[in-house]
Amino acid sequence: MEHFQEWLSSKVQISKFPTVDEIQAGKFDACKYRVNVSDIYRPEIDLMFNKMGTVNFWFPQGEAFGIALESLYGALRIMWEAENQDQSLLLHCHAGNNRSVLVADSYYFLRTQKQRQQDQPRLTYAKNNPNRLLLNIDDGQLPGIFKMEEFLQGCCESFDSSFPEGDRPLDWIKHQMHMTGSGFLI
């Protein structure tokens, strides 16, 4: 667990959508992986990161009509791989204060089985930033707290090959949530 918190605080950079000037200035040179969770795709930005040797992923998420669990699952899986490889990761959305923080807060729960508290020591992204997982649940953008925690636990089991039922697809996780919970179909 100590390695996870060190990795999250030192190797995960949460940002707004990168600009050409920021990339050219070297602001993101250390990032091995880039996860874009905004609903904007700019191929010229991907090309710039590709030239730097950064691996790009785009898991689009909206903010107004529900956040897709499929996109969240994909972003969490890349974070899992980056952590296991001890690689740096740029996680961004459009403004850098809701969707990207939501993914980081979801990953925090996935790894600790606890909700992140505001101003948690050592987590720079948490400074003055409320838990976006909880806020998006309260706003109706995600399933309820029990379903989301069950979903994130299922993701952890799927990603971790040491679990007896590891490496399960997303549909299996969603099916398990439907079968074992209150009947909320995602």
Q: Name the DSSP class of 169.
A: -
Element (H, E) at 12: strand 12-15
The pLDDT of 5-18, averaged and rounded, is: 94
In a domain, 185, yes or no: no
Whole-number pLDDT of residue 164: 62
Distance between CA atoms of residues 132 and 97, nearest Å: 8
Whether residue 183 is predicted with pLDDT greater than 70 in this model: the reply is no
Whether residue 166 is predicted with pLDDT greater than 70 in this model: the reply is no
Which residues contact residue 32 at a Cβ distance below 8 angstroms, ignoring those fewer than 6 apart?
A: 53, 54, 55, 82, 85, 87, 88, 89
Structurally, the chain folds into a number of domains equal to 1
In a domain, 47, yes or no: yes
In a domain, 132, yes or no: yes
CATH of the domain at 83: 3.90.190.10
Number of residues that make up the chain: 186
Whether residue 182 is predicted with pLDDT greater than 70 in this model: the reply is no
In a domain, 14, yes or no: yes
In a domain, 61, yes or no: yes
In a domain, 186, yes or no: no
Supply the range of the domain harboring residue 39: 2-180
Q: What is the pTM of this model?
A: 0.90
